[in-house]
Amino acid sequence: MPVPAGRAGHQLWIAGSFPAAAGGWKAGGQAGRQGGSGALRRCGREAAGMASVVLSEAEKLYIVHGVQEDLRVDGRGCEDYRCAEVETDVVSNTSGSARVKLGETDILVGIKAEMGTPKLEKPDEGYLEFFVDCSSNSPELEGRGGEELGTDIANTLYRVFSCENSVDLKSLCINPKEHCWVLYVDVLLLECGGNIFDAISIAVKAALFNTRIPKVRVLEDEEGTKEIELSDDPYDCIRLNIDEVPCIVTLSKIGYRHVVDATLQEEACSLASLLISVTSKGAITSMKKVGKGSLDPESIFEMMETGQRVGKSLHIALQKILDEEENLGTSRPKVGFLG
Amino acid sequence: MAAVTMRLPAARAPLDSSALRGGEKHLVAPGDTITTDTGYMRGHGTYVEDDKLIASVAGVVERVNKLVCVRALKARYNGEIGDIVVGRITEVQQKRWKVETNSRLDSVLLLSSINLPGGELRRKSAEDELAMRDYLQEGDLISAEVQSIFSDGAVSLHTRSLKYGKLAQGVLVQVSPSLVKRQKTHFHDLPCGASVILGNNGFIWIYPTPEQKDDEAGGYTANLEPVPLSDREVISRLRNCIMALVAHKIMLFDTSILYCYEASLPHQIKDILKPEVTEEIVLEARQRLLDSEG
Cβ-based contacts of A325 with chain B (< 8 Å): 8
Mean pLDDT of chain A: 81
What pLDDT does residue A22 have?
A: 35
Please answer yes or no on whether A81 and B268 come within 8 Å at the CB atom.
no
Q: Nearest C-alpha of chain B: how many angstroms from A203?
A: 12
Structure confidence at residue A284 (pLDDT) = 92
Cα–Cα nearest to B176, from B108, B113, B249, B121: B249
Nearest to B68 by CA among B103, B104, B95, B36: B36
CB pairs under 8 A between A and B: 129
**Residue A9 pLDDT > 50, yes or no?**
no
| A231 neighbors A279 (Cβ within 8 angstroms) | no
Check CB contact of A302 with chain B, cutoff 8 Å: no
Are B54 and B33 spatial neighbours (Cβ–Cβ below 8 Å)?
A: yes
- What residues of A are in contact with residue B269 (Cβ under 8 Å)? 71, 74-75
How large a percentage of chain A has pLDDT more than 70? 83
Nearest residue in B to A70, CA atom: B229
B→A interface, C-beta within 8 Å: 1-12, 88, 90, 133, 137-141, 167-172, 222, 224, 226-227, 229, 232-233, 236-237, 239-240, 268-270, 272-274
Task: Report the pLDDT value the prediction gives residue B27, as an integer from 0 to 100.
Answer: 87
Q: Which residue of B has its CA nearest to A316?
A: B4
Residues B163, B186: Cα–Cα separation, whole Å = 11
Q: CB distance B9–A101 less than 8 Å?
A: yes
Contact with chain B for residue A21, Cβ under 8 A:
no
Beta pairing partners, A180: A116, A173
| Residues of chain B contacting A77 with CB distance shorter than 8 Å | 3, 270
Contact residues for B276 (Cβ-Cβ < 8 A; gap 6+): none
- Residues A83-122 have pLDDT tens digits of 999 999 999 899 999 999 998 899 999 999 998 899 999 8
Helix (H) or strand (E) holding A217, with range, is: strand A216-220
DSSP line for A259-291: EES--HHHHHH-SEEEEEEE-TTS-EEEEEEES
A85 vs B contacts (CB less than 8 Å): 6-9
pLDDT tens, position by position, A307-318: 999 999 999 999
The answer to which of A6-20, A100-114, A238-252 has the lowest mean pLDDT is A6-20
Asked if the Cβ–Cβ distance from B5 to A81 is below 8 Å, we say yes
The pLDDT, as a whole number, for residue A169 is 87
Distances (CA, A) of A198 to A101, A166, A211, B227: 11, 17, 20, 31
Residue A111: what pLDDT? 95
What's the rounded Cα separation, in Å, for the pair B19 and B285? 13
Low-confidence stretches of chain B (pLDDT < 50) are: 215-218
| Chain A residue with Cα closest to B10 | A335
**pLDDT tens track for A47-57:** 444 557 889 99
- Chain B nearest CA to A178, separation (Å): 41
Mean pLDDT of the A158-184 span:
87
> Which pLDDT belongs to residue B23?
59
| Most confident range, picked from A8-12, A245-249, B120-124 | A245-249
**Residue A261 exposed, middle or buried by CB count within 10 Å (0-12, 13-18, 19+):** buried
Binned at pLDDT 50, 70 and 90, residue A230 comes out as: confident
Q: How far is CA A185 from CA A94, A156, B150, in A?
A: 10, 13, 50
Contacts of A262 (CB under 8 A, 6+ apart): A194, A195, A250, A252, A254, A270, A273
- How many other C-beta atoms are found inside a 10 Å radius of the C-beta of residue B271? 17
Residue A310: list chain B partners with CB under 8 A: 2, 4
B139 contacts in A (CB within 8 Å)? 41, 54-57
pTM value is 0.85
In chain B, the residue whose alpha carbon lies closest to the alpha carbon of A260 is B2
DSSP bridge partners of B41: B67
Buried-state track A184-220, b at ≥16 Cβ within 10 A, e below 16? bbbbbbbbbbbbbbbbbbbbbbbbbbbbbbeebeeee
Q: By the CB < 8 Å criterion, does A77 face chain B?
A: yes
Preferred mutation among A42, A52, A68, A73 to probe B, highest tally of B CBs within 10 A: A73
The A residues from 105 to 164 touching B (CB cutoff 8 Å) are none
Q: How far is B33 from chain A (nearest CA, A)?
A: 23
User: Residue B25: CA atoms inside 13 Å, Cβ hemisphere, count?
Assistant: 16
Nearest-neighbour CA in chain B from A228: distance (Å): 38
